[in-house]
Amino acid sequence: MEALFYIFSIIAIFSALMVISVKNPLTSALYIILCFFALAGFYILLNMQFLAAMQILVYAGAIAVIIVLAIMLLNLAKTKGAIKDFHQLVIGIIAVGLLFLEVILYIDAAGEKKPTGIYTNAIINKVGNTQIIGEFLFTKYVFPFEVASILLLVAVIGAYIFAKK
């Protein structure tokens, strides 16, 4: 398990770095799919197989494909996307470094917390995570769920309007 965690970590971080550093957007897109897979691996490690599946289906399958499609549609593969502004790079690294430091400090300072919920791994495995999530979505979270579907509908129409000449 630990070995898997480290492997996934290395893959995820490496591919994330590649996403932001390669010139060609198409390559970036491919690396991000790799990253998505690594994250899906984490979800499995965390006993959330359903989410892992969704990660692959939705992110790696749908979103990444749309991106690649767009890149190819606009013929962007050759666009120069290199980092030219060194100045900006330095400032960006400093800012992000600070951000990182702060978050890490937070995590460090958070301290131990007792689990409050009832959904231990045992229960999840007994009932099945898909079923639990499904029950939640159609009971407690039914309203956000419907809103989300409306959002998707709006997004579809919006994308159509934007892309239309």
Partner 1 sequence: MNINVNDYLIVATIIFCIGALGVLIRKNLITIFLSLELMFNAANLGFVAVSEYLNLMSGDIFVIFIMVVAAAEAAILLGIAIAFYREKGTIDIDKANELKM
Partner 2 sequence: MNSKDLIVWLIPFFPLLGAILWGVFGKYFKNYSGYLGSIFIIISFILSTVIFFMVAYGHSFTSTLYSWIDASYFKVNISTTVDRLSVIMLVMVTGISSLVHIYSIGYMKDDKGFARYFSYLNLFVFSMIMLIMANNFLLLYVFWEAVGFCSYILIGFWYEKKSASNAGKKAFIVNRIGDFGFALGVMLIFVNMGTLNYSSVFSGIHLLPPYLITTIALLLFAGAIGKSAQFPLHVWLPDAMEGPTPVSALIHAATMVTAGVYLIARCHVIFSYSPSASNVVLIIGGITAFIAAFIAMTQFDIKRIIAYSTLSQLGYMFMAVGIGSYAAGIFHLVSHAIFKGLLFLTAGSVMHGMSGELDLRKMGGLYSKMKKTAITFIVGGLALSGIPPFSGFFSKDAILASLFNKGDYFFWIIGELVAFMTAFYIFRLIFNVFFGESHVDKNLHVHESPNVMTVPLIILACFAAVFGFIGMPPFNHSIFYSFINKDFANSLNFSPAVNNYPWYLLSTVSVIAGISGIYTAYVFYIKKSLDLEMLKKRFKAVYALSYNKLYIDEIYDFAIVRPMKNFSVFLWRVVDSFVIDGAVNGIAQWISVTSSKVRKVQNGMLMSYVFTLTVGVIALLAYYFVR
Listed residue (49, 60, 41) closest to 131, CA to CA: 49
Mark 101-120 with x for binding to partner 1 (rule: CB under 8 A) and - for no binding: --xx--xx----x-xxxxxx
Give the containing element (helix H, strand E) for 146: helix 142-163
Task: List, in order, residues 6 or more apart from 145 with CB less than 8 Å away.
Answer: 137, 138
By CB under 8 A, the count of residues binding partner 1 is 84
Rule CB under 8 A: say whether 20 interacts with partner 2: no
- Which of 72, 125, 131, 137 lies at the binding interface for partner 1 (CB under 8 A)? 137
Rule CB under 8 A: say whether 41 interacts with partner 1: no
Q: For the CB of residue 68, give the shortest distance to partner 1 in the complex, in Å.
A: 10
Rule CB under 8 A: say whether 70 interacts with partner 2: no
Q: For the CB of residue 9, give the shortest distance to partner 1 in the complex, in Å.
A: 5
Tokens of 34: 């790799």
At 26, which amino acid appears? L
Q: For the CB of residue 42, give the shortest distance to partner 2 in the complex, in Å.
A: 24
105 binds, among partner 1, partner 2, none (CB under 5 to 8 A by kind): partner 2
**DSSP states along 112-136:** ------S--HHHHHHH-HHHHHHHH
Tokens of 128: 């099945």
- Which of 7, 72, 78, 85 lies at the binding interface for partner 1 (CB under 8 A)? 85
Q: Which stretch binds partner 2 (CB under 8 A): 2-10, 69-77, 96-104, 152-160?
A: 96-104
d(CA 54, CA 58): 6
